Amino acid sequence: MPSRRRIRVLLIVLTGTIVVIALGAALVERGLVWPNRLFAARYDVRGVDVSAWQGTIDWPAIARQDVDFAYVKATEGSSFVDREFEANLRGAREAGLLVGAYHFFSFESSGRAQAEHVLATVPDDEDLLPVAIDVEYYGTFHADPPDASQVRPELTALIETLRDHGIEPVVYATRSAYDRYVAGHFPGTPLWIRSVIVPPTMSDDRVWTFWQYSNRDRLDGYDGEESFIDMNVFDGDLDDLRALR
């Protein structure tokens, strides 16, 4: 039977461990600690992705903070347009960043209708990075994700319709959405993976093109409801990124 002294020591160690874990989680939640920063520092090309949640953005200020590219939200579903899309597209370009638009994929609209909405909204400009499709859970779908047999055909229709118009889209996904809907499918499509605690490993051993390493970073230059900004790296140099256009 363990002695009382040993039990007290074990309780102290256990309590200390819980406190350290809780403190670490709180620091990450508040954006004060970035677990991936050292790993992301290996990559030379860094970028942000933004939407109306960041409010009015001072793009020259963003560009001065070691930011090379930006993806700005354009559309969602089959009808929604981000209210800051045009301003962000113009501002990021004028600040000298490489810029692309992203579409938030809806589980409630057909893939073809979403593609037509993207094509009607995002300008067909040669200097833009390829459109990115953001695949992640939202609302009640966090607790009850739709089955892959429902989602994958619509995602396929969206991708193929964009390809028919000369666009090879990038597919962004959270780790769980990637494993459910993307892994093992869409060969040749550039991948953008969200992994904000540890460096990404792909369940199907594919290579990522973009990595969102933080969703709770802070930069100077925006004033929206969202105090954090998403940070990303590109696996290549600036010439490689330009070649995606």
Q: What is the CATH number of the domain that holds 94?
A: 3.20.20.80
Quick one: 75 and 4 in the same domain? Answer: no
Contact call for residues 210 and 191 (beta carbons, < 8 A): yes
pLDDT tens digits for 130-175?
999 999 999 999 999 999 999 999 999 999 999 999 999 999 999 9
Within 8 A by CB and 6+ apart from 107, the residues are: 141, 146, 150, 151, 154
| Mean pLDDT across the chain | 91
Quick one: 2 and 48 in the same domain? Answer: no
Quick one: 26 and 54 in the same domain? Answer: no
> Whole domain around residue 149: which residue ranges?
36-243
Mean pLDDT is lowest, of 13-22, 66-75, 115-124, for: 13-22
- pLDDT bin (cut points 50, 70, 90) of residue 2 is low
Quick one: 77 and 89 in the same domain? Answer: yes
- Pair of tokens at residue 69: 């590219």
Quick one: 12 and 97 in the same domain? Answer: no
Contact call for residues 47 and 229 (beta carbons, < 8 A): no
Q: What is the DSSP secondary-structure string of 21-53?
A: HHHHHHHHHTTS--TTHHHHTT-SEEEEEE-GG
pLDDT tens digits for 42-61?
999 999 999 999 999 999 99
Quick one: 19 and 98 in the same domain? Answer: no
What SS3 state is found at 71? strand
